[in-house]
C-alpha cells in the first residue's frame, strides 16, 4: 500500500464567498481523504464551505485589481507566532499552498513552516490581457520561490505559461487540470421545454455579465420564450439589476445569488444552454460542471476555453471576446438547433470523463510522493 500522508493546506481566498479555488480545495481534499490521507485545511474565517478539519487562522481583506479581479490579502487573526508554532507541532509530511503569491500572512507561513512545501497556481490570463503588465516581474521571485518550495502545480497550460518563470530547475512542476465529481454532476433528461440560459460566475467585469445582458435583450426579440438564470454575486450586482429593470426584463431574468456545491446542480440540469461570456479565465470549473450535465456551452473564445474544449463540436459558438452581437447570434442558433445540442451533449459527457476529481487527486498524490522522494508501491 502507498504511504499515507499528513497534509496541510493553506489558501487566502475569502471562503465566505463562492469561488473556484474554494471548490478546488474542497474536492481535492475530499478525494485525497478517500485514499487514506489526513488533510488539515487552513484559511480565512467565516467559511460557507463544508471543509473538514478546517482551521480559521486569518482575516481576509479584499483588494480590487484590474479587469474585475480582486485578491484577499490576509492577516493573522491571532498570535502569529503561536499559530505557526502549533502548525509545526503537527509535523506535516507536506504543506500545500494555493496561490502562494497572495500577501501577507501566507508569506509568513511559507517562510516559517518546516514541512516540505508545494504550491498550486490557479491564476492565469490571456495573452492580450492587461494583467500581462506583471509578467516581467514574476521571474524576479525565482530564487525566493525555489528557496521554500519543492514543487509547483499549474491548473492549465495557460497558467503554467504565466508562472513557469518562478520555478528553478530544482522545483518539480507539472500541469494538473481541475476536476469534476461525476457522481454529483450528471445528465438528467429535461422535463421543462422552455429555453433556459444559465450563467454561473461572480458579477464582476471579467466574467462578462454586461455583455450577456446586452445579448439577451436582443435575443428575446426573436425568442420571447427564453429565460436567463444568473447564479453569482459581485460588485456589478446593483447596476445589472438596474439594467434589467430599465429594459423591462424582470420577468425573463432571475438573479438567484451565490449557490454553491451540489445545490447548483439542478440549475445546470434544467438549462438548455450554458453561457460563459468570461473575458479572461485561467481554467473555468463551471465549464466542466456544464459538460458533466450534458449542457452545450456558448461563450467568448478565451485561451483557457480553447484548451479545455479542444475538438469541441460547438467551436463556432465560442465567439470573439466582448462581442455581444456574435454572442446573440450564437445563442439563437444553438437554441433553435436541437440536433446540434444533442451532438454537443454526447461529446461533452464523454469528454468530461478526462477531468475526474479521482484522477486529479491521484496525480496530486504522485506529485507529493515525488517531492518527498517516496516510491509508493501501488
pLDDT value at 378 more than 80: no
Mean pLDDT across the stretch 128-148? 89
Task: Look at residue 66 in the predicted model and tell me its pLDDT.
Answer: 57
* Range of the structural domain that residue 148 is part of: 6-179+356-372
Is 166 in the same domain as 202?
A: no
Is 107 in the same domain as 65?
A: yes
Is 341 in the same domain as 361?
A: no
Is 121 in the same domain as 250?
A: no
> Each residue of 56-70: pLDDT tens digit?
999 998 777 655 566
Residue 190 lies in a domain: no
∠ CA 17-22-25 to the nearest 5 degrees? 160
Sign of the Cα torsion 238, 240, 226, 250 reads positive
User: What's the grid cell of residue 56?
Assistant: 480559521
What global pTM score does this model have? 0.94
User: What's the grid cell of residue 101?
Assistant: 503569491
> Each residue of 93-112: pLDDT tens digit?
999 999 999 999 999 999 99
CA dist., res. 138 & res. 201, Å (int)? 28
Is 283 in the same domain as 363?
A: no
DSSP secondary structure string for all residues of 144-163: HHHHH-SEEEESSHHHHHHH
> Each residue of 176-186: pLDDT tens digit?
999 999 999 99
Is 18 in the same domain as 141?
A: yes
Is 52 in the same domain as 135?
A: yes
Rg from Cα positions in the chain: 21
Is 207 in the same domain as 115?
A: no
370 in Cβ contact with 172 (< 8 Å)? yes
pLDDT value at 166 more than 60: yes
Task: Look at residue 37 in the predicted model and tell me its pLDDT.
Answer: 97
Is 213 in the same domain as 140?
A: no
Domains contained in the chain, number: 2
Is 366 in the same domain as 329?
A: no
CATH number at residue 297: 3.40.50.2000
> Each residue of 348-369: pLDDT tens digit?
999 999 999 999 999 999 999 9
Residue 250 lies in a domain: yes
Is 80 in the same domain as 120?
A: yes
Residue 87 lies in a domain: yes
Residue 276 lies in a domain: yes
Mean pLDDT across the stretch 278-306? 94
369 in Cβ contact with 361 (< 8 Å)? no
Residue 155 lies in a domain: yes
Residue 377 lies in a domain: no
Is 230 in the same domain as 365?
A: no
Amino acid at each position: 500500500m502507498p504511504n499515507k500522508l499528513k497534509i496541510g493546506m493553506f489558501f487566502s481566498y475569502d471562503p465566505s464567498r463562492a469561488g473556484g479555488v474554494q471548490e478546488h480545495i474542497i474536492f481535492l481534499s475530499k478525494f485525497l481523504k478517500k485514499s487514506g490521507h489526513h488533510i488539515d485545511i487552513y484559511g480565512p474565517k467565516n467559511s460557507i464551505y463544508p471543509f473538514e478539519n478546517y482551521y480559521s487562522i486569518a482575516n481576509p481583506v479584499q483588494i480590487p485589481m484590474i479587469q474585475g479581479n480582486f485578491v484577499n490579502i490576509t492577516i493573522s487573526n491571532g498570535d502569529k507566532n503561536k499559530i505557526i508554532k502549533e502548525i509545526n507541532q503537527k509535523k506535516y509530511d507536506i504543506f500545500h499552498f494555493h496561490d502562494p503569491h497572495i500577501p501577507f500572512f501566507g508569506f509568513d507561513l511559507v517562510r516559517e513552516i518546516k514541512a516540505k512545501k508545494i504550491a498550486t497556481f490557479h491564476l492565469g490570463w490571456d495573452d492580450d490581457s492587461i494583467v500581462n503588465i506583471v509578467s516581467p516581474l514574476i521571474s524576479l521571485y525565482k530564487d525566493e520561490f525555489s528557496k521554500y518550495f519543492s514543487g509547483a502545480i499549474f491548473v492549465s497550460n495557460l497558467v503554467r505559461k504565466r508562472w513557469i518563470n518562478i520555478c528553478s530547475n530544482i522545483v518539480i512542476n507539472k500541469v494538473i487540470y481541475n476536476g469534476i465529481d461525476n457522481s454529483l454532476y450528471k445528465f438528467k433528461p429535461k422535463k421543462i421545454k422552455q429555453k433556459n440560459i444559465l450563467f454561473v460566475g461572480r458579477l464582476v467585469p471579467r466574467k462578462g455579465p454586461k455583455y450577456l445582458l446586452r445579448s439577451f435583450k436582443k435575443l428575446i426579440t426573436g425568442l420571447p420564450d427564453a429565460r436567463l438564470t444568473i447564479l453569482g454575486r459581485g460588485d456589478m450586482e446593483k447596476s445589472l439589476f438596474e439594467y434589467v429593470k430599465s429594459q423591462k426584463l424582470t420577468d425573463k431574468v432571475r438573479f438567484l445569488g451565490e449557490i454553491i456545491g451540489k445545490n447548483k446542480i439542478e440549475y445546470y440540469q434544467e438549462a438548455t444552454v450554458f453561457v460563459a461570456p468570461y473575458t479572461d479565465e485561467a481554467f473555468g470549473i463551471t465549464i466542466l460542471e456544464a459538460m458533466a450535465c450534458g449542457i452545450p456551452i456558448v461563450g467568448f473564445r478565451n485561451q483557457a476555453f480553447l484548451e479545455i474544449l479542444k475538438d469541441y463540436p460547438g467551436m463556432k459558438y465560442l465567439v470573439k471576446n466582448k462581442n455581444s452581437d456574435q454572442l446573440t447570434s450564437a445563442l439563437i442558433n444553438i437554441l433553435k438547433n436541437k440536433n446540434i445540442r444533442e451532438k454537443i451533449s454526447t461529446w461533452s459527457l464523454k469528454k468530461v470523463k478526462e477531468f475526474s476529481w479521482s484522477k486529479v487527486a491521484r496525480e496530486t498524490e504522485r506529485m507529493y510522493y515525488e517531492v518527498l522522494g517516496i516510491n509508493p508501491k501501488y
